[in-house]
Structure 1
Amino acid sequence: MTNQPKAVLLDIDGTLIDSNDAHARAWVDVGREFGRDIEFDRVRRLIGMGGDKVLPELTGLEEDTDEGQKIKERRGEIFREQYLSTLNAFPGARELLQRFRDDGYTLVVATSASKEDMDALLKQAGIQDLIEEKTSSSDAEESKPDPDIVQAALKSADAKPDEAVMMGDTPYDVTASGRAGVRCVALRCGGWGDDDLRDAVAVYDDPADLLARYAQSPFARG
């Protein structure tokens, strides 16, 4: 029997804030700076995984190499300097998080983003004050779709897998949560289709759509 959930594990990029395209563009830009041809469409399908997985997929470099580290650091700088200030939270994002809090949920960020990017994104989205706990790439040995970050978020929330629900927007969120034994509710606003998100327990357009149908959602209190 599934326990009544007490924690919501939250992805940020593409779930609460419209940032996936910007992350992809930052990868294209950093590739250009380092003389590497990175195609937008290719990297866009990788957004949602951690940089430790995206980097070798695009360049063949591991993040512990000198050039790999420089590319990762510079990509983060480009994203924060050129794109971050242009991003907006998805409709209903803050209201949905407030509803979670009103229902007594513990809210924990579970993101493959770096801590620096995570803090900046939460501030840009105007939701940093609603989050109790935060886990980022620095809290996990392996990033999504490996389950490490979800497991770290569970520990932070002091919750068992069946006491939490993950909310994300990519198949990497769905896979990572599934590997950790956590149900995942997916949102289409990150750019992925229903077939990509088919293993989620429910799929909604965006936070506003989930909020509008909250009473029938996996988050509804019995």
Structure 2
Amino acid sequence: MPDDRAAILVDVDGTLVDTNWFHTVAWWRAFQDIGEDVAMSSIHRLIGMGSDQLVRRVIGRESDEASVAHSKRYEPFKDEIKAFPGAADLLGELARRGARVVLATSSDEEDLDRLREAIGAEDAIDEVVSNGDVKRSKPAPDIFEAALKKFDLDPQRTMVVGDTTWDVEAAGKLDLEVVCVLTGGSTRAQLDQAGAVAVYEDVAQLRDRLDASPLGKLLD
């Protein structure tokens, strides 16, 4: 029997889990390791974009060496990963209201396991798409397109929750509306300009205001 529930595709890093600054510092140190002196601010504004595209934007060329160095530099932060307050509550409430909750992340399977453990909402999560399901990273729409196709979701009854302009840009290419939170480091003005349909301080505020939010209206 087809599953005709409305679907919510939820980004993980910077949205549910407080990792964007860890990634920023890890990339900054990684670029130093390969002899590239770059400003941390130039890295932070690109967090949420796929690693391959971030490297090209920052140093103007591809570098597998940079990606390997980032993985090494990010490793010590993994024991400090924490979910944002309200992350599990939001996912649980979406599920309670009948949503099909899908995590949509560029993380690999190993990192995803740790992120899911930090979130602590396994009963609320229906499905997951990760970097192994796609060829191109954000701002390409592949991660969201993979979710739509893999789980046979109706785009007209699907929304995205994210934290960066790259989430909004990627989803917009599929005409998916995006609700954003400010915990990834993007400003309200940046997210509004990118096309977010609503912006909240964090997932806790989104949970508190769910009834009046675009997500709440989708699930009515």
Query: Taking structure 2 as the reference length, what is the TM-score of the superposition?
Result: 0.90
Moved more, 118-127 or 160-169: 118-127
| Cα distance in 1 between the residues matched to 2:128 and 2:68 | 21
Residue number among 122, 126, 148 corresponding to 2:116 in the alignment: 122
The answer as to 2:199 corresponding to 1:206 is no
Fraction of identical pairs, as percent: 38
Distance 1:5 1:219, change over 3 A: farther
Distance 1:202 1:36, change over 3 A: same
| Number of corresponding residues | 213
Structure 2 equivalent of residue 78 of structure 1: 73
List aligned pairs for 1:10-21, cutoff 5 A. 10-21=10-21
RMSD of aligned residue pairs (Cα, Å) = 1.7
| Cα distance in 1 between the residues matched to 2:151 and 2:100 | 7
Structure 1 equivalent of residue 134 of structure 2: 140
Distance 1:150 1:19, change over 3 A: same
Secondary structure of 2:90 counterpart: helix
Structure 2 equivalent of residue 65 of structure 1: none
Q: Is the 8 A contact 1:16 1:125 kept in 2?
A: yes
| Cα distance in 2 between the residues matched to 1:207 and 1:157 | 25
Moved more, 187-196 or 132-141: 132-141
Q: Is the 8 A contact 1:5 1:219 kept in 2?
A: no
Q: Is the 8 A contact 2:5 2:100 kept in 1?
A: no
Amino acid of the structure 2 residue aligned with 1:208: A
Structure 1 equivalent of residue 144 of structure 2: 150
Amino acid of the structure 2 residue aligned with 1:54: L
| Cα distance in 1 between the residues matched to 2:139 and 2:196 | 14
How big is the shift at 1:129? 5.0
- Give the unaligned 5+ runs of structure 1: 63-67
Moved more, 37-46 or 131-140: 131-140
Distance 1:5 1:45, change over 3 A: farther
List aligned pairs for 1:1-222, cutoff 5 A. 6-62=6-62, 68-79=63-74, 81-128=75-122, 130-198=124-192, 199-220=195-216, 221-222=219-220
| Cα distance in 1 between the residues matched to 2:147 and 2:45 | 24
| Cα distance in 2 between the residues matched to 1:182 and 1:83 | 33
Distance 1:125 1:177, change over 3 A: same
| Cα distance in 2 between the residues matched to 1:86 and 1:54 | 24
Moved more, 141-150 or 152-161: 152-161
| Cα distance in 2 between the residues matched to 1:193 and 1:71 | 27
| Cα distance in 2 between the residues matched to 1:40 and 1:126 | 31
Deviations 1:106-162 (A, max 9, x none): 111222233333332222333455322211222222111111111011123321211
Secondary structure of 1:119 counterpart: helix
